[in-house]
Amino acid sequence: MRKKIVSLLIILISVALFLAVYFDFELYKTPIAKVINVSEQNISVGEGKYVEQTLTLKMVNANENTGEKGSIIKVKNRYEIEKTYGEEYKKGNFLFIDKTGENGKELYSIAGQKRDYIIAFLIIMLADLLVIVGGKQGLLTVMGILVNSLLFVGGMHIAGNGNNFIWFVILLMIIFTFGIIFLVNGKSRESLAASIATLLTVSIIGVLCFVVIEFAPNIKYEFLDYMPEPYTLRMANGLLLSEILVGALGAVIDIAVTIIAATKEIVEREPGISRVGLLSSVRAISDDITGLMINVVFFTNVAVILPVAVLGMKNDFSLWSVVGNHGFFLLIRFLVGGMGIIAAIPLSTYIGSIFFKGKSEGAIE
């Protein structure tokens, strides 16, 4: 009965949160309008074929530029039939509106689509599943994600204006590591061992990457996403190194926590086991997760380049050209992430043997 009440409470809170985001129009200074009617016609411009939409919109927030709430306006929109360029809008969409004037005539244009409620829905669904399936651990995971997200956003606001923010990113990674592991696993020797193993692994691969980036031929950063212009080589190297370290952190944490837990269990069952024997025992466990985690890292990076590759090939760029330019940085992140996963196994085993050989679990003193 208690579980049903908790589940019902979670559902009610989730619905309330979603509706709050869905109807948050008054929080925006930008005018927002709802599409209440759409009419379309096919047109040709040069060799291109397009669809021209006439959208009837109803203002859903009051604004001095576009009129009172509830006023009706009409806006033109055009998109390519294959939807490579432009965007199709449908009845029920919420759009941001810009108003301009030309020769005394008011003109309205679409500045973008309001999608915050879609993101909110996905976040709420993830949080609900974590709490319902994982219980207390799931709730702690949600809290960890929330805290780390706030830290990340705040940290980026502070460090974003500097050219060399690598040290700030390293500080955030240390906080992320201890925060995630201790929040989910609790205050224990196991959590401390996993945190140390994670940071040691990331530090080693970070130093190796730094040496390679600094002494290898200069990298062409023109295709690195969101690289500010103009940029210095030092800034670009710092941004790439930050991406690599943050990208590897999640996978390394997962491996370190798993290996530390396995090491603790083996040592408790066989207190006299040697470190060589311990490594052999842990290797049997790691074989089951290493390949899986490396593939997770691989497909995560493939997902990033997939839309770029499809769009590039539709515009007559070869696949190898797209991969060679845009995939270079993803390949680096994948390889470093894979090295981090592999390096975390012996390092975590060694750290675990130091912490648990001849000792039982207890609170950190």
| CA-to-CA dists, residue 261 to 251, 291, 330, 349, angstroms | 16, 19, 31, 10
SS3 231: coil
CATH number at residue 68: 2.40.50
Q: Are residues 322 and 262 in the same domain?
A: yes
Give a yes or no: residue 129 inside a domain.
Answer: no
Asked if residue 337 lies in contact with residue 297, where contact means CB atoms within 8 angstroms, the answer is: yes
Give a yes or no: residue 8 inside a domain.
Answer: no
Q: Are residues 194 and 337 in the same domain?
A: yes
**Domain limit, last residue, from 114, 143, 172:** 114
**Domain limit, last residue, from 57, 90, 114:** 114
Give a yes or no: residue 21 inside a domain.
Answer: no
Task: Quote the pLDDT of residue 193.
Answer: 92
Q: Are residues 94 and 184 in the same domain?
A: no
Round to whole Å and give the CA distance between 324 and 220. 11
Q: Are residues 64 and 171 in the same domain?
A: no
Give a yes or no: residue 85 inside a domain.
Answer: yes
Give a yes or no: residue 252 inside a domain.
Answer: yes
Q: Are residues 214 and 332 in the same domain?
A: yes
pLDDT tens track for 161-186 = 655 578 888 888 898 899 888 888 88
Give a yes or no: residue 183 inside a domain.
Answer: yes
Task: Quote the pLDDT of residue 63.
Answer: 64
Give a yes or no: residue 68 inside a domain.
Answer: yes
Q: CA geometry: angle at 292 spanning 266 and 147, to 5°?
A: 80
The residue segments making up the domain with residue 71 are: 31-114
Q: Which residues in the chain land under pLDDT 70? A: 63-68, 101-105, 159-164, 222-231, 357-365
Round to whole Å and give the CA distance between 11 and 2. 14
Task: Quote the pLDDT of residue 196.
Answer: 94
Q: Which of 66, 5, 347, 14 is nearest to 195 (CA)?
A: 347
Q: Are residues 172 and 295 in the same domain?
A: yes
Give a yes or no: residue 177 inside a domain.
Answer: yes
**Considering its fold, how many domains does the chain have in total?**
2
Threshold 0.85, pTM exceeds: no
End-to-end CA distance of the chain: 40
When the pLDDT of each residue in the chain is averaged and rounded to a whole number, the result is: 82
Q: Are residues 110 and 166 in the same domain?
A: no
CATH number at residue 267: 1.20.1640
Q: Are residues 239 and 341 in the same domain?
A: yes
Q: Are residues 180 and 256 in the same domain?
A: yes
